[in-house]
Amino acid sequence: MVIVKRKTLTLAERLYLPEILRGMSITFAKMFKPKVTRQYPEEPLPTNEVTRGQPRLRQLIDGNLACVSCGLCEAACPAYAITIDGQETDRFIEREPEKFEIDMLRCILCGFCEEACPKDAIFMSTELELAGFTRASLKYDIDKLKRTMPELAPRMDYIKRINERW
């Protein structure tokens, strides 16, 4: 059995009032402190290469996608957000995506696609904002997904760096 010894309260403590006044002085003082709220649309969220935003496809210098439509991201995607149809191409890689669709409403930004990709073709960008008037408009196709190398460079370097650890 545990016996808890309670402190005997002094009269001032039993009156509550001094302590209440002390508490009120604290809240009053806080009113004039600087605010910590981020005013979101005006002050955007800070992003860096670790930010895992929406997945984007890497474009090569010649404008083609690095993707060979192998379907590994499609298979890795836990939310079934990715749909790929391949087609033959005359380029060295033989196969390229005919259709590459990510349903951004299903995407959970987990980054499995980036991890699964054997061709470094898909990366998590720093783009986080997603809004549209129809569901169909949030199904992104190749035109909406492709990004040039400089845009994805920080993330590519970061992924390369963390993969070097293994």
Partner 1 sequence: MTKIIVNGREVEADPQKPLIAACHNHGEHVPHYCYHPGLSAVGSCRICQVEVKQGEMPARVVAACRTPVAEGMVVNTDSEGAHGSRRECLEFLLKNHPLDCPICDKAGECSLQDYSFQEAQAEGRSSEPRRKLEKRKDLGDVILLDQERCILCSRCVRFMEEVPKSPQLCIGGRGSHSVVETWQDTPLSGNYQGNLADVCPVGALTLKDFRFQARVWNLTRVPSTCSECSRGCSISVEVLRNGEVKRMRPRPNEDVNSYWMCDHGRFSEDELNRSDRMEPAALRDDAGQLTAADPVDALRVVRNLLSVQSQALFLASPYLTVEEGEALSKLARSCGTQAAFFSPEPNDLRDDVLHTGDPCPNQRGLQEAGLTPMGSEEWAAASSSADCVLLLGERLLDMLGDEALEALPPTQRLVVMECRASDHAAVDVAMGIPNRVERSGTWVNVDGTAGAIRAARSAPQGVRALVELLADLTTTSGQPEEALSS
Partner 2 sequence: MNDFLIILIKTCVIYGGLIGAAALMTLAERKFSAWMQLRYGPNRVGPWGLLQPLADGVKFIFKEELCPDGANPWIFRLAPILSAVPAMLTVAVIPFAGDVTLFGVDCGNLSITDLDIGTLFLVAIGGLSVYGVILGGWASNSKYSLLGGLRASAQMISYELSLIMIILCIVAMTGSLDLRAITESQNTGNPLSWNVFSQPLAFVIFVIATFAETNRHPFDFAECEPELVAGFHTEYSSMKFALFFLGEYCAMIVMACLTTTLFLGGYSVPFWEDAPWFIELGSFCAKAGFFAFLFIWVRWTLPRFRFDQLMHLGWKVFLPLALANLLVTGAVISLA
Q: By the criterion CB under 8 A, which residues form the site for partner 2?
A: 17, 20, 23-24, 26-28, 30-37, 39
From candidates 31, 118, 133, 164, binder to partner 1 by CB under 8 A:
118
- Give the C-alpha separation, 130 to 148, whole Å: 20
| 111: nearest Cα among 150, 159, 70, 151 | 159
- Give the C-alpha separation, 124 to 156, whole Å: 9
Asked whether position 157 contacts partner 1 by CB under 8 A, the answer is: no
Asked whether position 64 contacts partner 1 by CB under 8 A, the answer is: no
Q: How far is the CB of 43 from partner 1 (least distance, A)?
A: 41
From candidates 59, 69, 125, 126, binder to partner 1 by CB under 8 A:
69
Stretch that binds partner 1, among 49-57, 89-97, 99-107, 150-158 (CB under 8 A): 89-97
Which backbone phi and psi does 130 adopt, to 5 degrees?
A: -145, 115
Give me 41's structure tokens.
Answer: 């649309």
Give the CA dihedral 36, 41, 43, 48, nearest 10 degrees. Answer: 110
DSSP 44: P
Q: How far is the CB of 98 from partner 1 (least distance, A)?
A: 9
| Binding site residues, partner 1, CB under 8 A | 68-72, 74-75, 86-88, 93-95, 118-119
